[in-house]
Structure 1
Amino acid sequence: MSSAVLKLRRAIRNKESISLSPEGKDVGEATALIIDGEEIPLSEKTDFIGNDNTNQTLRAIYQCWLNNESSTTEYIAACEKNKIPVISFMERTELISFLNGSSETCSYLKVDAAALNEFASSSKSTGKSEGADNENKDSKKRKIELDPFLKEILANERDLVDHNKALRGSKPVDFSSVAKECEYKIIRLSKSDSTSGSSKAAATAYKSSSSSSSVPKPAAVPRHRPSSSTSTSSVVTAPAKNKDPIIILSPSASSILTMNNVKEFLQDGKFVDTTDMPMSAKNMLQLSRDSKKFNRKMKFLVVSNVDKFFTKPEYWDRVVAVFTTGQEWQFKNYKYSQPNDIFQKYKGFYIHYNGDIVPPKINSWNVQTITIDRNQRFKDRQTSEFLWESLEKFMSTKGYK
């Protein structure tokens, strides 16, 4: 197996020349990568093995490096444009850290001893420069030891850090979730308060006009003032106030969680194999959950066919989870047709049997995989609770109380 990944890492760290061949072609159209004068075919498989147990090509590795500062969405778009396989988020993060030298190891890189020796021998030039730096440090240290006055001054030296360096971390932080929470808890709340304010004004006007009438006033009906938690919850589900959250199942025949067994699994903690069962005619059912996180009993609607049930746009505001089998045709008539947009808005789940291969697309989407054991049914309750904990944690970030 080629050690092209190690050669690429050495070239990046030593700032050696890297170019594509033929010249002027992008990474999707080029045939070879020239690293410090050595031409390596881009179609050559490397020692980088992902979770799907496939050796990534040099083309996929170099495409990942070219987009090392791009967002996940931009990287996936670039891969689709050049028709290059997408490396999942975790694999991509570890690969970039290895290539730029931030990390000395990569768990996905399966390199033999011969390749490591070759890489070590080719990095001698780097070792020489590091040796020169060490000599300079030793010389400076000896100079300090020979001068007591200089040593005393340096003993009281301290590094000055301004507020920018102190507040900034070493990695970029995505605050998009904070922006969404502000929208739900501040902006929409203020709109809701303004609407309720106009209703109070109308009620006051009606009361003053009726006070002059000789008709006796009926007994005042006490009005319930919602608590802050109720107000927050109504903001989160503004178009569908006090409505049950919705879970969408995949209508695919390959899905192991269907309308036939979803209630037994999610509500009763028992998984039933539906291989020999006929397809259910139901498109919707209701299940309940005694939530420990929210300290109340919650009802959920489970839907498999959004075309028949989602007759109003506001139904999408109630969706909290989407189960998928990795087939994009499922999202054809969704509010958001792109999987990356869908699983940013809603919690995504992919359920599969233990030992089955997870489709590569699942690794590139923001989807959580749930493994079902084929034979050991005593594990079903634990698996079901784990799924619920993940979903309820997601719901709490969306403002559910």
Structure 2
Amino acid sequence: MATAEIDPLLFLRQAIAAGTSVVPTATDAADAPETPLPQARFLQFAGAAGDRTPVPVDAPTRFVSNDAPVDLRSIYFAWLNREVAIHEYNAAATRLNEELATVSSPATVHKFAFVERLDLITWLEGASEESEYIKAAGGPGATGAAGSAAGAKTASGAAAPLSRSGRGALIDPRLAVIYSGERRTGDHNTVLRGIKPTDFSHVRKLAVPFMSKKQHGGAGAVVPALDGKKPSASLPLNPKGGPARRPDPIILLSPSASSLLRMSNIKSFLENGRYTPSDSSSTATMHFLTHTMKDIDPARPLRFILVEGTEHFKPDYWNRVVAVFTTGQAWQFKSYKWNTPAELFKHVQGIYVGWRGEPVPQGVKDWGHRVLNCHIDKWTDPGVPGADVNRFRDREVAENIWRAIEHNMRQKGWKRDSGAAII
């Protein structure tokens, strides 16, 4: 198969879903032995019939970072290191770049930002059908997710399922051939403005003086909007030219060993309303969960990202932080954008979770009403009779936490199609 007919990103996702092997090799020969990634020039995708499809490791993919396509080697390396912490992944990428330099290769491995890496892994493992970093195959109007070749084979040897838009449900390649002969019809937006919605707010501002003179005989008068409301200075501009995408809110956890809710048990507590002890052997550095905020978007659940550290935060990530779990220790906030409790909890909802019957730490008391105090019943071994008597109250605590987060998000201006308007 010609390299131009192959979608490397889709090939890798299909190989992961099918459980087939992906072998780095130095040549594109079908019997080439496996070689370490620094010396590899191809990734060979095994098919169901025992054949292999080679793809160059430096082939560009549809994943775009900083307006540049990311190569297949970087995508594959990020998948291999999906379970490690972000700082360990960056260290491994640095070592691989050094090894590439020793073999006189000009290539380097792209280091993904925190949210980019999360989005990529989520898409590759099939947990999400869309990503803001992955371009539609073939551009707007493309008929196949694997390119224009309708009969391209996947890593498993079967015909590649294609997508009309590059996202969403995959379709049979024979249907893609039929769709390619369709006569495209458009609505008034596509007829007047083309395939990309265009922002014309600048025209409105230019027209205001002329309309004022015509209606009121002088300059400086404000033209009311058609609905009688005061006109805004400009319409919201989407720089990508497409529909606005609501950002995923972020919840920060306390890295303290004394915290009752850690990465190993926070997801089950917030999703199921039941506390279990944290597992100190857990190496997870991030989770994502969905929860419906009825006063923000009752029809579509919000996806929340849960993390402990902020080492690799970009400045705009702080606009998405909606809650911070704390144990009352101020050292937790040293690396934060707002590194004092008084300043932090002006912007973000604070949450403290402690044992029922035990005193609240003095630090939490001093921070006032901006930190929600929650108490759960002490953990008892399930083998002890009556251990689950009071565990039903965990759900009430979890619901109180979600109500506080939702209240804070509404105050900050979160809406069903946009993030915070007030930081």
Report the TM-score when normalising by structure 2. Answer: 0.37
Structure ID, larger Rg: 1
Q: Counting helix residues as a fraction of each chain, which structure ranks higher?
A: 1
Choose between structure 1 and 2 for higher RCO, CA contacts under 8 A separated by at least 6 residues.
1
